Chains A and B, each alone.
Chain A
Amino acid sequence: MVATVNVEVWKGGVAGAPGTLVNVDALGPPNIRLHTADTPDAIDTTTPVPIPTSGQNFSYWAHISLNFGGTFTQISNFRHYSDGAIGWTFGTTPVTPRVPGLYRGNRDAGDKGAPKANYQPAAGTSGTTGFDLLDATNGHPYYRAQVTGVTNIQSDTSAAPATIDSSSYTVATDIKALVLQVNVGTDATQGDQGNELMTWLYDEI
């Protein structure tokens, strides 16, 4: 059969074992929101990312995966990209630890997605800031030790999508998760940001 597929977010739980896998297909639009809480499936304005008076504030990171079900012969080659122009008003300063923007967890080699065994619950100070993905102590263990542990999602385009999972699967599964986080600067502009289109690609037979 043609496989069933839905976007899901992983949240809660403990390292290596998300507590809840939420199908977000029926939410929104949009289907996902970044908060300063581990609630990427809450399509509302609670716990926004506040504009900092100094430094930067981060959203809690979000694990975003695809769930496949039904019967099928093989699925493979899972890629992801943005429209190349995130229109959110992140601000531009300060530039440390990095220019404000929307970032994806990155690996120096191989697949960019985090396997479920490497899941790390999002955390931080709810309502204020999440931990930076690359924080040496509280960052995401699957990414924080990489030379280039994050990539601006604007670099992932239809012409150059990120390979999230290069595995082939022959039974129902969740694939590796894309990990997203936003950081805002002191000159960001307050307000509900517009919806940004994201795209998955995969092969099936």
Chain B
Amino acid sequence: MPDDLFLERLMDINSRYNRPIISHFWIVHYKDGTALPQFDPIDYHENEYWRAFSDSKEDYVAGIMPKKKDIVKIGWYSIPEDAGMGIMKECGIPVIPLSDKFKEVRIKENDEPYLMRETIFRYAGSQPLFKYVNKYKIGRNIGMPDEELYIIEID
């Protein structure tokens, strides 16, 4: 369970942002050696996830994903503290670097790479509401049951 100091930091940060607190970011790696990170390492702007697969969000939603065949690895990685400050400033996304846990998965031909974060959003209690990402899920294929996914749990 989160300790009191962690909860205090969560609530303080939540009071200033309307997005959940994150601790990890994704990177999608391609067979030509390039990679797309969720956050640009130079200016910290955020890349939407569909960009890892498609040329437009409309294509992604329609299932048109020409880049998918070139993906060789996906991963969730802990956000370094200095990058966290940059992300909060650039994107308005609250960050708490929580742990050094990370997970990578090798992708094979015909896989449907799966990355997802689960947010927990508590409200109506005796303390101010707070929301943070408590699970980072990753797997070779969409639709795998949870027990077959790798999950980084934040608690």
Contacts and interface: CB of A to CB of B under 8 A. Distances in A.
Contact of B129 (A31, A77, A170, A202): A31
A1 B124 contact: no
A5 B19 contact: yes
B123 A200 contact: yes
A29 B125 contact: yes
Contacts of A30: 123-126
Interface in A176-205: 194-205
B117 A1 contact: no
A3 B121 CA distance: 13
Nearest to A199: B122
A196 B125 contact: yes
Interface residues of B, number: 30
Interface string B10-24: 000000001110100
A31 B22 CA distance: 23
Interface in B104-142: 115-129, 131, 137
A24 B128 CA distance: 11
A1 B91 CA distance: 8
Given A5-B131, A204-B116, 12 more contacts: A1-B46, A2-B19, A5-B119, A29-B125, A31-B123, A31-B124, A72-B48, A195-B124, A196-B125, A197-B125, A200-B120, A203-B137
